[in-house]
Amino acid sequence: MEANIVVVPHSILRAVHKEILMPANRGVFPPFQRLRLLSLGYSISMKIDHAPLLPIQEKLDPIRFTRSLCEIESTTYHEGPVGDFLADFLAGRGWDVEKTPVEQPSENAGGGPRWNIYACKAGETPDLVFSTHIDTVPPYIPFSEDDEFLYGRGVCDAKGILAAQVTAAETLRAAGYKIGLLFLSGEERDSAGAKSANLHPKGNRFLINGEPTDNKVAIASKGALRVSLKTTGKMAHSAYPELGESAVHKMVELLAKLLKLDWPVDADAGDTTVNIGQIQGGVAPNVIADHAEAQVLIRLVTDSAPVRKMILEAAKGVAEVAFTLDLAFVRLNAVEGMPTMVAKFATDIPQLSNWGAPLLLGPGSIHVAHMPGEKLAKKELLGSVELYIKLAKQLLG
């Protein structure tokens, strides 16, 4: 079925743009943000019409823009409102915007629409695309700031990064460079937005992906293998363990075994690491457990195949194993004159193989991402704008 095209009147977009830039109105949702296209379903491809707009003269303030983004909650599966906001905002600043749906998983089928946002100059194939994600981990933490830092969910992972990328892209666009923007849903769970976007590349030569790297270029990014383990047993009174079989005991022994395995090591990226994130099982302390489950996340420094084999061998005859996420370990290129680091976390990059040669760079520390005290230094955010501009110019010549 052909996608439905929705054209947004420029009068609405001008109102949206005015509200976002005026400090007194930050956090106010313009009327268009409350529109929902559920009646059109997930075949929608929205194109935002900005042709009648007058040129935007105001220089974008990445600190204010970060605040506007962070005041909209967008935990994974609930990215719709921030996607609406972002599409309107970019169109209001003269970008040609495509807003495409990202399917909800079956367990969140009623969660409402969510989007990928792509922006470029009308009719132009970009040479370089800036990209990051618009979802955050839970729980939502309201935005705040002081003279030195921004605080709140998403300030460094990754809404501050997004704001810096847009600011840099506008400077580069004004200088005549062919630049695109790609902002994705779902990175924090399964990279659903990246997988969808990879089916519709734009022909760019380079992709600068944004994650918190302390404003250093990453020369490698660890992969991620998510593992679901299930054990079964026989229920019985806990006073008579010989009459039952504990699924929890099986799980505990298996997890202890996994922690002691000699996992692969890479000279540059370091160790494979294992995190047992969740364990559930049994019905009561005085009942032998007949079921148990565990969720494990392994950070990869090799291809996942040898790690999968080690897990299957350890769990043989003990547990049912399912691999629910597999993001590849990626080696990236250094850039002359720029400091480097190894990202011990996974990104959308492995799922964006059709979007040009990837690089990874962004302000903020991964050490505070996903934490109650997530923060980003204003000085570092402003500095990242110049770094993005420098990197782009160095790549494009």
Q: Which pair of structure tokens corresponds to residue 150?
A: 């921004």
**Which residue from 141, 28, 54, 109 is spatially nearest to 374, judged by alpha carbons?**
141
Q: Which of 19, 98, 187, 380 is catalytic?
A: 187
E runs forming strands in the chain = 46-48, 96-101, 115-120, 128-133, 144-145, 149-151, 179-184, 206-209, 217-221, 223-232, 265-266, 270-271, 273-281, 291-300, 320-327, 330-331, 340-343, 357-360, 375-377
82-86 long-range CB contacts below 8 Å, 24 or more apart?
Answer: 82/134, 83/114, 83/115, 83/116, 83/117, 83/134, 83/183, 83/185, 84/32, 84/33, 84/35, 84/115, 85/20, 85/29, 85/33, 86/117, 86/134, 86/162, 86/183
Tokens 């930050």: give the residue.
26
Contacts of 230 (CB under 8 A, 6+ apart): 291, 292, 293, 319, 320, 322
Q: Which pair of structure tokens corresponds to residue 166?
A: 């847009």
- Residue 317 region, left (φ>0) first, then alpha (ψ -120 to 50), else beta? left
Provide the H-helix boundaries in the chain: 10-21, 62-70, 80-92, 160-174, 192-197, 247-260, 304-315, 378-396
**First-residue to last-residue Cα distance in the chain:** 42
**Are 95 and 122 in contact, with CB atoms under 8 Å apart?**
no
What's the one-letter identity of residue 256?
A: A
* 187 flagged as catalytic: yes
Q: Which pair of structure tokens corresponds to residue 114?
A: 């969510």
Residues marked active site are found at 187
